[in-house]
Amino acid sequence: MKTHHYIFLTTVLFIILFYDQNIGMNLGIITIIYSVLTFFRTSAKNKTTTFFFLFISSLLSAAAFAWYGDFPSFLAVVSSVVLLVYRSKNRRMKILLLIPVIVTNCSTFLCRFFSFDKWLPKRKIPGFWQKMFAFIFIPLLLIFVFFGIYSAGSDHFANLFTNIEFDINFWQLLAMIVLGFFIAFNYWNFTVERFIYKNNHILNNDFKKEEISPKPTYSFLALDAERMSGVISLIALNILLIFFIITYNYEQFYESVKSPVRLSEETHERINAVIMSIIMSILVIMFYFKSGFNYDPKAGLLKILAKIWISLNAVLVISAMVKNYEYIVSYGFTYKRLGVYAFLILSLIGLIMTFIKIQLRKRNAFLFNTMMWYFYGAILLCSYINWGGIITYENMKRKDFDVNYHKTQINFSEKQLLKYAEEKHDNHLKKEILNLQRIKFQQNEKFLSKVLYYQRIK
């Protein structure tokens, strides 16, 4: 099939799946269709290990959205399928350039749409289909659009057709046609502008030969002075960080016990301080090891001090993890406390990648390229796993288990709560859970709009 065949086919499928429906299982189905079509359309040379990983993750994300239908699974679906088609066109393009590619394609949609010669076949259409397109499709489309416009602008015009009943929501159908075509066109016919291609090499992980020779960052600062500045700065920062780690751990583990509210506020303040410290640490190291210092034979001390600083920051992260664990043991699981672990783990990975960058003499782009994949992995984990169910299951073991909190504030906890009600022989709670509005709403939805998780709650 040609590009225009894919565009028209997926537009029609989008209309069939989404017209007069809410978002639910239909998004999972259309994602699977897009993924499978992309797989067969991709040339053999672009079917790399990364491509196969993205193909599998797009299918799993589609299944996750059909099951949960929440924002994390939606984010996983969109990011997976967009990355899949992006890599299907060019296996060497960096993931960081995906955003400018999306922006330029969406903003130039109208211009590219009217450039018919670039996406429609240049050869003539066979006589029958040519007449169908010219005599039926185009006139019907124009009549449909202007009928809607005139009906909205004149009540008398609309009343002329009051005796004719159409079981069709014209505006919704028009919106589905436009949205479906917009998505299909930009998916199958996206372009990577020349200026983006030209800047792809900037995001390479390794230095070129001409970049190896040490050079000063600024013309007013000599190389020796800049190197010494880095040594002095890192010595001072290491000493400062050692004192911070000591005071930080003393406040966390040895000060008198505070109220839960105050402890929660202080814990989040300290976690924020740790994360900001890690980010600033990585930025400082990126500044000093952005180019020549990676190969400077006199920068041995600077590298040692940088590695010590990274190690100390890792100790700070581990301290925060231990405190967060202690906090969970005392007061139970919540989304925020699990989120703290996620941020701290990503921070620790960032530090490890920074250490590798210095050790293997990588460019700063190596950190961005690598961390983008870890962030994508975090999105996938958030969408595939029922964290609400885990939170409820673990907190059920506690004596201070708050049923109402988990019933109203924790998503996808209904199965665990029903199990809890059965264990406690609480028929009233069981009826309350089964009669929750979100369960009734989802179970009464149309087939394509259903979220599968709620269909198995009985």
CA distances for 391 relative to 276, 335, 417, 433, 451, angstroms? 27, 8, 11, 17, 21
CA dist., res. 316 & res. 139, Å (int): 69
CA dist., res. 370 & res. 350, Å (int): 9
CA dist., res. 80 & res. 87, Å (int): 11
Question: Per-residue pLDDT for the chain (458 aa), expressed as one digit of tens each?
Answer: 788 889 989 999 999 999 989 999 999 999 999 999 999 999 999 999 999 999 999 999 999 999 999 999 999 999 999 999 999 988 888 888 898 999 999 999 888 888 877 777 766 556 665 666 667 777 777 777 777 777 767 776 666 665 555 566 777 888 898 999 999 999 999 888 888 888 887 888 877 776 666 666 666 667 677 778 888 888 988 898 898 888 888 877 776 666 666 666 777 777 788 888 888 888 888 887 776 667 777 778 888 988 998 999 999 899 888 888 888 888 899 998 999 999 999 999 999 999 998 888 888 888 999 999 999 999 999 999 999 999 999 999 998 899 999 998 999 999 999 999 999 888 999 999 988 888 889 888 999 999 999 988 87
Contacts of 277 (CB under 8 A, 6+ apart): 241, 244, 313, 316
**pLDDT score, position 85:** 94
Cβ 395 vs Cβ 332: under 8 Å: yes
User: In this structure, what token pair is assigned to residue 269?
Assistant: 């303040």
Read off φ and ψ for residue 92, nearest 5 degrees. -100, -10
Residue range 39-82, pLDDT digits in tens = 999 999 999 999 999 999 999 999 999 999 999 999 999 999 99
